Structure 1
Amino acid sequence: MPAISRRTVLLGSAGGLLTVGGLAACSTSSGTAVTSSSRAVETAERGRRAAGQRTVTARLAPRQATLDLGGPVVRSWAYGDGVPGPLLRATAGDRVVVTVDNALPESTSVHWHGVALRNDMDGVPGMTQNPIGANKQFTYDFTVPDPGTYFYHPHSGVQLDRGLYGVLVVDDPAEPGAYDAEWIVVLDDWVDGTGQTPDDVLAALRKGGAGAGGMDHGSMGGMPMGGLGGDMQSPLIGGAGDVAYPHYLINGRVPASPVTLSAKPGQRVRIRMINAASDTAFRVAVGGHRLTVTHSDGFPVATTETDALLVGMGERFDVLVTLGDGTFPLVASAEGKSGQGMALVRTAGGEAPSPNVKPTELRKHVVLGTQLRAAPQVALRSRQVDRKHDLVLGGSMRNYRWTINGKTFDDADPLGVRQGERVRLRLRNMSMMFHPMHVHGHTFGLRETGARKDTVIVRPMAAVEVDLDADNPGQWATHCHNIYHAEAGMMTTLSYRG
């Protein structure tokens, strides 16, 4: 495996593959690491295959591109001529084969966010594969076991904060339907090509301001994005981000030139909502409508009605909306920041609302993923917990160092587990920023509500406990899905031991 550098700290730890290290847990584990090439990985993959398995094939070509964001035109990196990238669609149990032709000037990778796939296809260079070098090719080949809304993106540096992301929908062969149309809505924050690159932003953060408690974010004079945000506070999630972006997008468009869903009054629409942003949570509402939340991170929840929904980076929610008569805004307000994304729902004529419209629903009842309850059919069965790990989340803006258990990823102690165990992770946030924590290769159950998720918001000075079944052997990245926090060290390895 290639050496790990500070620039590629997000990519994974060769140490997590090859050495044991100390385990931050109430118990320790010894034995040989179960690597991505082990027989156990192939055995688990065979168990995912459905009878009469179909094969779905696709190609991705990450490259430099000129992108029209609905007015602003930027140079960035993308999987095509626009963002999001190509929609990939399969049915649970299908084999998915995706060939990646890397035309970028540097190495890359593709991570299949939320999919409990085979470890050697997870797309984390240095942990599960070698990076895909410039002008090189790699083929991902895996089974998709669970229906749901997922997405794909690089796990290489801060490339996610360019245009390199797309949606993977895995359909349920037993889907009952009960809706008339489907709408995929991808939320994003955007800086690339506006005079700064994501690498420039990271460098600025590492140089940035300091202050008591690390909460003085400082400022970066002359940055076209508006500088680093010192007042990004949310009543729901506390410290809400580090970067004030010049644009917030829905399906690759700014609010002045929104994408539009055309439908008929009374139709029921399933909205698959994905937050592909790097530093921004969004509060989402549809003007004049209520949302019925049906799925979180791909898995069914007890249906919950709300006016608005808070979506952290990496989270996905499916909602049902029964459409009224007229033209309505779908607004994704950048939580704790100034700005928003907007799309339109049109069932009749009428003037489109202003790009700055603020539906009253944004100020009414707001649901977070931690408040949802699992649908009975997907709740984890009750059993004894075999192993516990504490993950203490720390860091500040002072030197832009973000940690798990006091260590950055290059020094992190793997979280040792053995196949078949029930594992409890206690995520304790001792910083003043919120962290959307993501575990690769697994879904977990929130201990308080049972909701099945792979990404969960942990608010400042709060704790979230999750349980997972260690049923997918390998070495798995576990990190904050704020791309800048992860790149600055907030990542470790869920490490299966033989």
Structure 2
Amino acid sequence: MTDSALTRRTLLLGGLGVASVATLAACSGASGTTGGRMPSRTFGAPVPVSPSPGQKTVTATLTAKPATLDLGGRTVSTWAYGDTAPGPVVRATAGDFLRLTLDNQLPADTTVHWHGIRLRNAADGVPGMTQDPVKPGTRFVYEFTAPDPGTYFFHPHVGVQLDRGLYAPLVIQDPDEPGGYDAEWIVVLDDWVDGTGTTPDDVLKKLIADGGPASSGGMGGMGGMGGMDHGSMGGMGGMSMGSPPWGDAGDVTYPFFLINGKPPTDPDVLTAKPGQKVRLRVINAASDTIFTLALGGHRMTITHTDGHAVQPTEVDAFYIGMGERYDAVVTLADGVFPLVARPFGKTSGGQAMALIRTGPGAAPTAGVNPAELSGQVLIGSQLQPAASARLPDRKPDATARLDLQGSMKPYQWGINGAPFGSNEPLTVKAGQRLRITATNMTMMTHPLHLHGHTFALPSGLRKDTVLMAPMESLSIDLDADNAGDWMIHCHNIYHAEAGMMIALNYVA
């Protein structure tokens, strides 16, 4: 691949200092990779479980296989669930028992992680932590109850496989949902590089190679940070609608940005009638890109984030980080309108766009610039929770610290001073309320994702993935009500694979 396939940027070190970078370097893999290795554990076949009497069972088979896709006239080879990206949606109702079979027809090990679901630990899909990797030519059956309604998705938890076509929506319906809308559309956002002359594995190798060896020259300490691209700093106090202090927002330059697997030159077309109210279930399945989403000629009302209800909030547009999901309702006008997902902080590759058609009219061009993108743009962490989504008031029984750290040169990322596999797991006892103080000590934005649980922000907002701005510190509370060994990590897949993960282990 060429140098143009990567974002050209100077050192991004933020708050780590020479000593911590040396620690990350010392903990890196001997082969020259940046760590992020799973502990060496074996699990054998999963223990089968059965639905409770009267519990509905939802079954499906997911075939992970090589696939060829058409991206607006350009043919790319990739891996996908079936023959499409996104893969087929899986639907169930809260309380259902899911029995989902992964048929691995890839030339590599893989798994499936059910992103955002508070499921039993054995079904979480993390190789070396909850299961053995699924070998080529074999099957693995995931069995779990989906307790919470909401918009979710699933993807592998092996290497950078997410940055291929291996992702699909998972919608858990609310049996008590009052409805009030005429149609429901799933909107999946993605950044795409696979099959365009390179692969995600090649991208990661080049990021590591371009980062070079660990060196203290020019790094400075917390006060100096010489040679850094500071981006736009600031903390929570500096946040305002439309002006996030996010600095650099990604490492990779993508040739395509997609909505529902289609580029803006060959957009997905969603049809309805004028005056109809539509529920949008928006999923950011991208690996390295924060998007700003807007619907030309309309304002949207945000109703849920990461599956949890919020106080309805009307906006022109909203930011959505990797791994986040937002539900919104909109009443449609008459005509043809662009649904635009603009990559934040990226100047190459254009944007993603779908069309909403309720009547006659010419389609906008691929580079259309809706006025709403310059209007009131919501930062999701500013939403207020619905009363039904709040955690019960309770003082924390235990506390933990989680520091996000790393650099571009060398390309090394970690948590609490070391990459995953070398850092000490966080621990909690069953039944405790745990307060984690998470601090982003870098000059990049990181979407922090917790497996098997949801957490509450200080406002009470419930999420499982939250964007953390450069130098931002945030307290998150979780109830330890789902025993097992779980992952906490950055949902920039390249940062995670380079070591920005840590375990959360239940202890006696």
From the superposition, tell whether residues 397 and 352 of structure 1 become closer, same or farther in structure 2 (CA, over 3 Å). same
Cross-structure match for 2:338: 329
Q: Give 1:87's aligned amino acid.
A: V
Cross-structure match for 1:262: 271
Cross-structure match for 1:95: 97
1:123 pairs, out of 103, 115, 125, with 125
1:142 pairs, out of 144, 165, 181, with 144
CA distance in 2 between partners of 1:10 and 1:272 (Å): 32
1:179 pairs, out of 174, 181, 188, with 181
Instruction: Name stretches of at least 5 consecutive residues in structure 2 with no aligned partner.
Output: 1-28, 213-217, 220-224, 231-242
CA distance in 2 between partners of 1:134 and 1:357 (Å): 43
Is the CA contact (8 Å cut-off) linking 2:37 and 2:499 kept in structure 1? no
Cross-structure match for 1:488: 498
Is the CA contact (8 Å cut-off) linking 1:179 and 1:267 kept in structure 2? yes
Cross-structure match for 2:295: 286
1:318 pairs, out of 313, 320, 327, with 327
Cross-structure match for 2:434: 423
CA distance in 1 between partners of 2:433 and 2:167 (Å): 32
Mapped pair 1:407 → 2:418: yes
Cross-structure match for 1:56: 58
From the superposition, tell whether residues 73 and 402 of structure 1 become closer, same or farther in structure 2 (CA, over 3 Å). same
Q: Give 1:67's aligned amino acid.
A: L
Give the % identical residues.
57
Mapped pair 1:380 → 2:391: yes
Cross-structure match for 2:39: 13
Instruction: Name stretches of at least 5 consecutive residues in structure 1 with no aligned partner.
Output: 19-34, 218-233
Deviation at 1:13, TM superposition (A): 3.1
Cross-structure match for 2:462: 452
CA distance in 2 between partners of 1:310 and 1:497 (Å): 37
Is the CA contact (8 Å cut-off) linking 1:11 and 1:126 kept in structure 2? no
Cross-structure match for 2:312: 303
Cross-structure match for 1:226: none
Cross-structure match for 1:469: 479
CA distance in 2 between partners of 1:148 and 1:271 (Å): 12
CA distance in 1 between partners of 2:36 and 2:151 (Å): 24
Give CA deviations for 1:437-482 in whole Å, capped at 9, x if unaligned: 00000001111x2111000001001112110000000000100000
Deviation at 1:70, TM superposition (A): 2.6
Secondary structure at the aligned position of 1:151 is classed as strand
From the superposition, tell whether residues 154 and 270 of structure 1 become closer, same or farther in structure 2 (CA, over 3 Å). same
Is the CA contact (8 Å cut-off) linking 1:9 and 1:157 kept in structure 2? no
CA distance in 1 between partners of 2:337 and 2:283 (Å): 20
Cross-structure match for 1:26: none
Q: Give 1:138's aligned amino acid.
A: F
1:341 pairs, out of 332, 343, 352, with 352
Deviation at 1:410, TM superposition (A): 1.8
Mapped pair 1:111 → 2:122: no
From the superposition, tell whether residues 383 and 128 of structure 1 become closer, same or farther in structure 2 (CA, over 3 Å). same
CA distance in 2 between partners of 1:365 and 1:50 (Å): 47
CA distance in 2 between partners of 1:199 and 1:37 (Å): 29
Q: Give 2:263's aligned amino acid.
A: V
Is the CA contact (8 Å cut-off) linking 1:36 and 1:475 kept in structure 2? no
Q: Give 2:462's aligned amino acid.
A: R
Give CA deviations for 1:157-197 in whole Å, capped at 9, x if unaligned: 00000000001000000010010000000000000000010
Q: Give 1:382's aligned amino acid.
A: D
CA distance in 1 between partners of 2:298 and 2:391 (Å): 33
From the superposition, tell whether residues 154 and 215 of structure 1 become closer, same or farther in structure 2 (CA, over 3 Å). farther
Secondary structure at the aligned position of 1:120 is classed as helix
Aligned residues: 454
Secondary structure at the aligned position of 1:168 is classed as strand
Cross-structure match for 2:20: none
CA distance in 1 between partners of 2:395 and 2:250 (Å): 37
Is the CA contact (8 Å cut-off) linking 2:404 and 2:440 kept in structure 1? yes
Secondary structure at the aligned position of 2:204 is classed as helix
